[in-house]
Amino acid sequence: MKILHSADWHLGSKNLKLPAYQQKVLREEGFINLQCFFDEAYSQGYDVVLICGDLFHSKSVSQKLYNAFVTAVKNFARPVLYVQGNHDENIFADKIIPQNFHILSKSNPSITINNVNFYSQIEGQTIDQSQTNVLLLHGNIETMGDNDYVNINKYFPCKFTYIAMGHIHQMKKYKKDNNIFAYSGSLFSNGFDECGDKGFLQVVIEDKKVEKVEFKPFATRRYMICECDISSCQNSTQIIKEIEETILQNSISTKDIVRVVLKGSYDESSEKSLEYIKQHFNHFFYFELKDESTLKLDIEKIKQEKLSFKYEFITLVENSDLPQEDKKLICEIGLEALKGEEINL
């Protein structure tokens, strides 16, 4: 059997930190991605699609988005199995669902497809270990303090052929005592806290054994963060070149949602225009520049510049009762201000 294991789609989520235009484009792409996902699942010959929770981001789902999901599932025609996540509680109450969409719950804890048994829980269930059995879960198996913590160890005695999990948005695969279990990660990125490739897991089960668990990228746009050291740069043009090289090294596309963080230190005489640098990358779908670089300070040299504003300022700060770390930061900001540069706090 060829299984598509996915989770944490969070349909309808909004990243309000992005500009309005980018938000609109992402919403429109969401409808297209739904159909493309199930089209790909069909064309690649998946026997069943698993959605391990958090299909929708909240209970407030637009009718347009819900209809798009229902249409895509109907067109797939093959079974789609779903277990509830912490975000989409009772989302399907009083809604019409496709015949090939199966919700596994306490009242409907299992289903058999092509001689493979799929479960959402083990309480009250008789698990025949001579058969091929797959468990669908949504929760955190790593952090006991999480409200959605799941004790994975209690499922091991059942010897499930495969345990498909949702809730953690990064793909993770595990094997313990011959038990194979995995998080597929989220299908799409929803912010800079979820960077990198997003997609699903292809799981192939033959003769009651897992033959393959392979990650398949799906999302066309990724949230990407890269750090760029500008210590060797003397002007904005050199900084742009350094950023371009960093972007190339990280295989970042103009379709991606990008944040570049400037690191390192720069000389007082260097020219650095953040606005000019950002404009150079305006062909990206979204490009954000965060400056964490620091100004190189030769305090002793400045102290020798008698009768200067810089000397008076540095002396005032140095003679204060502030912690040494705060003194350094205030000196950096003050010297930038005296130069007439943009202040980055």
Per-position pLDDT tens, the chain of length 345:
999 999 999 998 888 789 999 999 998 998 999 999 999 999 999 999 999 999 988 777 788 999 999 999 999 999 999 999 887 777 787 788 999 999 999 889 999 999 999 999 998 888 999 999 999 999 999 888 778 899 999 999 999 999 999 999 999 999 998 899 999 999 998 899 999 999 999 999 999 999 999 999 999 899 999 999 999 999 999 999 999 999 999 999 999 999 999 999 888 778 888 999 999 999 999 999 999 888 776 666 666 666 577 777 877 887 888 887 777 678 777 776 766 555 555
Number of domains in the chain: 2
Q: 6 and 41 share a domain?
A: yes
Task: Report strand pairing: 286-291 vs 257-263.
Answer: parallel
Q: 207 and 321 share a domain?
A: no
Beta carbons of 321 and 290 less than 8 angstroms apart: no
The residue from 178, 201, 217 where one domain ends is 217
In whole angstroms, give the CA distance from residue 172 to residue 91: 27
Q: Where are the alpha helices (DSSP H) in 1-119?
A: 20-43, 63-76
Q: 124 and 228 share a domain?
A: no
Residue 344 lies in a domain: no
In whole angstroms, give the CA distance from residue 53 to residue 34: 16
Q: Which residues pair with 202 in a beta bridge?
A: 4, 214
Beta carbons of 265 and 294 less than 8 angstroms apart: yes
Long-range pairs, 309-313, Cβ under 8 A, ≥24: 309/338, 310/335, 310/338, 313/338
In whole angstroms, give the CA distance from residue 333 to residue 271: 15
pTM, rounded to two decimals: 0.84
Task: Report strand pairing: 199-206 vs 209-217.
Answer: antiparallel
Q: 268 and 312 share a domain?
A: yes
Residue 345 lies in a domain: no
Q: 51 and 157 share a domain?
A: yes
Q: Which residues pair with 102 in a beta bridge?
A: 81
Q: 167 and 208 share a domain?
A: yes
Instruction: Determine the structural domain holding residue 335 and report its residue range.
Output: 224-339
- The H or E element spanning position 27 is helix 20-43
Q: Which residues pair with 49 in a beta bridge?
A: 4, 80
* Cβ neighbours around 287 below 10 Å, total: 21
